[in-house]
Structure 1
Amino acid sequence: MGPRDKQKTPATGFSAPTLSLVEYVKIATGQSFGARKDGIRGPRLRKGRMNRVLLYNGCFNPPHHGHLAHLIHAYRYAGGFDSLGDSGSGHSTAAKNNDDGGGDGSSGSRSEDAVIGAIILVAPDVYLSYKFPTHKKNLHLPENQRIELWETALSHPQVNAREWCAVIPESDWMTVESELEDLCAGDGVQVEYVRLAGGDKVSRRLVEHGAWGCVVTVTADVSRGVDFCERDGDGYRLHRIKGHGEWKRAVQDDDDDDGDTGEGKKKGRRDVWTCSHAKRRDRELLFVTSREDERVDPNVSSTEVRRIISDVVSTSTTYAYTAQQTQDLLEKELSGVALSSELLARYIVEVPSFFVEKGWTSC
């Protein structure tokens, strides 16, 4: 038995437009029971169209600004889904993917070919122990802290993404997905989950297709470069991915057409390209290009954040800093790199004995 009474209709009881993705997730996870709040501005799932939702999974140990940029870029600009599988180029216009309200997509409507929301799946602690063995004294932020770091960052006024993005434990996804399926079916709403993969999951040699049952994988180069996109300033050339067909433009940034040769010759453009797996034609890869002024420092990574923490803790130990001095220095050094740097600094200072007694390093 889930968070709602299964003897009742699985619908939430609201007429179209129904609820936002975040409201559905809250009901599915037992945080809400269908009472609509006043002032909800997030884009609502709608009947009569396919509502596409990004699934973004990872360790996020800890989450950083590259993760956030990757998420927001895909949410804002991923489109062209309705052209997938077509033999033609399926051009649409990138501007149509933008909402009618603010640039973060928190208000207004979304085009039928745009992503409606996102769910971040945070890996469990046991996976961190596997990926970062404890005998190597790695930093392991507990699952609840990694979730809170994400939620705090998404709630920041300059981000304002909590209205279209939910954060849940990855280990809860199968149960939540089942609940969401019941809710959406009851409300007559269609949902398709699309995997948002980091640049490390997509390369010229390999694409991790099929994660979470997703037939479409989305990636971008806003937070780190990808080896299949050769950059020349804002111009670029796409290389064919092993085992996949040719690239086809799905979303065109402007009225000028560079053709469908996998090249963006025009400076300052943002396009969306797709290619299909050669044998599994239903497996699609969607690549959202970025403009130079949108890209974050490619050196920003969780490894770099852990190195910064290690250096500060080492300095703090050497010079016998107080807890407050250490926290202030951590916040200063992590600002602009780690998400929710103030909260992360507090987490670190709250467990100083871990670093001193166990000789923690950033490896």
Structure 2
Amino acid sequence: MSLQHYLQLAYKESRLTSAADLAAFQHVTGTLQRGRENLILVYGGSFNPPHRGHIDVLLSGLAPSVGALGIVVLPSEDFHLRHKVAKSHPEFFLRMERRAEIWAAIVPAHSRDRVWVWASTWYPFKTFTDALVRLTKADGFELAFSHLIGPDNVNPDDPLDILPYRLPRILVSNRGRHVATGFSSDGSPTVWKGFGEWSRCANDKGQAEDSDTVLWTCVGADGARGYYLQSAGPAYADISSTNLREMFVRSQGLDEGRLNQLSTETLLGFLAPMLP
């Protein structure tokens, strides 16, 4: 059965029936499978603005070793973003709908059939996830949601404590940024509170992943599960949304009023050097 079919039912049950809401996932083509866990990643963040490091993390979540059915990009609410940037160039402020518009435009074409952008508020999101899990389970499918985050956002004392809602899975990808303190001397990720030791996953042939990408997994209480996608590819330690905001404010004189009056095409023009 197609994922899109259940997405439509869950969106409507969450009272997200506007043309924009329903159009957000019409390109998604995933198919649920019985006898396995169908994983949907939730890639949340401020994305003020999005950049190539964000896209690298997104694409790493679609790696075959992860086996994700799809990814929903979840820009943070405006009230949360205002609090976050209060002391770091608050004049550069893209409203939630603008960040969603930018994301919808920059997802690489070859991945758009597995990615959609949540353009509504956070409030119906839990209703949506609960509905989707229940609707698919009624038809014999096992579906689970997992956070997708970068290593700089991991709280080892409570890794599942991520806005806006706790999910039973978390996938950490260092494809966009490497944090050395996230790993032990033997090369495995550091142990999180409430979780067991990490195990290196095997691929479909029963062998460890190649040296370019290693997937680790650990198990926590109440069925929680953690994943760490360790990549040997380039990590953009020199790029961050904070640094980009500072650059745009100084070089372009951009502020909240102007930013949110510009067309999406013009915004993409400003961001082009920071995108793949």
Q: What's the TM-score bracket when you normalise by the shorter of the two chains? A: 0.7 to 0.9
Which residue in the other structure is 1:287 paired with?
228
Which residue in the other structure is 1:194 paired with?
146
Deviation, structure 1 residue 153: 0.9
Which residue in the other structure is 2:32 paired with?
45
**1:13-32 equivalence runs, <5 A:** 18-21=1-4, 24-27=6-9, 28=11, 29-30=16-17
Residues 1:228 and 2:215 are matched in the alignment: no
Whole-angstrom distance in 1 between the partners of 2:40 and 2:207: 30
**1:161-200 equivalence runs, <5 A:** 161-168=111-118, 169=120, 170-181=122-133, 183-200=135-152
Q: Which amino acid is the alignment partner of residue 48 of structure 2?
A: N
Any conservation in 2 of the 1:229–1:239 contact (CA below 8 Å)?
yes
Deviation, structure 1 residue 338: 4.5
Residues 1:125 and 2:78 are matched in the alignment: yes
Any conservation in 1 of the 2:159–2:192 contact (CA below 8 Å)?
no
1:243-301 deviations in Å (ceiling 9; x for gaps): 343321113598776xxxxxx9x8x4322112334xx3733321111133xx2422222
1:313-353 deviations in Å (ceiling 9; x for gaps): 24x9xxxxxxx9xx98x8666324148xxxxxxxxxxxxxx
Alignment CA distance shift 1:254-1:333 (3 Å): farther
Q: Computing the radius of gyration over CA atoms, which structure comes out larger, 1 or 2?
A: 1
Q: Structure 2 length normalisation: TM-score?
A: 0.75
Which residue in the other structure is 1:138 paired with?
91
Alignment CA distance shift 1:283-1:301 (3 Å): same
Alignment CA distance shift 1:172-1:60 (3 Å): farther
Alignment CA distance shift 1:117-1:200 (3 Å): same
Whole-angstrom distance in 2 between the partners of 1:206 and 1:299: 27
Residues 1:308 and 2:247 are matched in the alignment: yes
Deviation, structure 1 residue 146: 0.5
Any conservation in 2 of the 1:253–1:271 contact (CA below 8 Å)?
no
Q: Which amino acid is the alignment partner of residue 98 of structure 2?
A: Q
Whole-angstrom distance in 2 between the partners of 1:254 and 1:163: 27
Alignment CA distance shift 1:255-1:200 (3 Å): same
- Gaps spanning 5+ residues in structure 2: where? 255-261
Q: Name the stretch that deviates more: 61-70 or 182-191.
A: 182-191
- Please give the secondary structure, in 2, of the residue aligned with 1:214: coil
Any conservation in 2 of the 1:199–1:225 contact (CA below 8 Å)?
yes
Deviation, structure 1 residue 187: 3.9
Whole-angstrom distance in 2 between the partners of 1:150 and 1:197: 16
Any conservation in 1 of the 2:46–2:75 contact (CA below 8 Å)?
yes
Deviation, structure 1 residue 54: 0.5
Any conservation in 1 of the 2:178–2:235 contact (CA below 8 Å)?
no
Any conservation in 2 of the 1:252–1:271 contact (CA below 8 Å)?
no
RMSD: 3.7
- Please give the secondary structure, in 1, of the residue aligned with 2:175: coil
Alignment CA distance shift 1:171-1:302 (3 Å): farther
**1:68-107 equivalence runs, <5 A:** 68-79=55-66
Residues 1:337 and 2:274 are matched in the alignment: yes
Whole-angstrom distance in 2 between the partners of 1:177 and 1:194: 11
Alignment CA distance shift 1:59-1:122 (3 Å): same
Whole-angstrom distance in 1 between the partners of 2:224 and 2:142: 20
Which residue in the other structure is 1:251 paired with?
202
Q: Which amino acid is the alignment partner of residue 126 of structure 1?
A: F
Whole-angstrom distance in 1 between the partners of 2:272 and 2:63: 24
Alignment CA distance shift 1:24-1:300 (3 Å): farther
Whole-angstrom distance in 1 between the partners of 2:135 and 2:54: 29
Any conservation in 2 of the 1:123–1:143 contact (CA below 8 Å)?
yes
Alignment CA distance shift 1:300-1:254 (3 Å): farther
- Gaps spanning 5+ residues in structure 1: where? 1-17, 80-113, 258-263, 317-323, 340-363
Alignment CA distance shift 1:245-1:189 (3 Å): closer
Whole-angstrom distance in 1 between the partners of 2:87 and 2:28: 43
Any conservation in 1 of the 2:148–2:171 contact (CA below 8 Å)?
yes
Alignment CA distance shift 1:197-1:134 (3 Å): closer
- Please give the secondary structure, in 2, of the residue aligned with 1:163: helix
Deviation, structure 1 residue 128: 1.3
What's the % identity of the aligned pairs? 21
Whole-angstrom distance in 1 between the partners of 2:189 and 2:138: 44
Which residue in the other structure is 1:214 paired with?
167
Any conservation in 2 of the 1:308–1:333 contact (CA below 8 Å)?
no
Whole-angstrom distance in 2 between the partners of 1:242 and 1:254: 29
Deviation, structure 1 residue 311: 2.6
Which residue in the other structure is 2:47 paired with?
60
Q: Which amino acid is the alignment partner of residue 240 of structure 1?
A: T
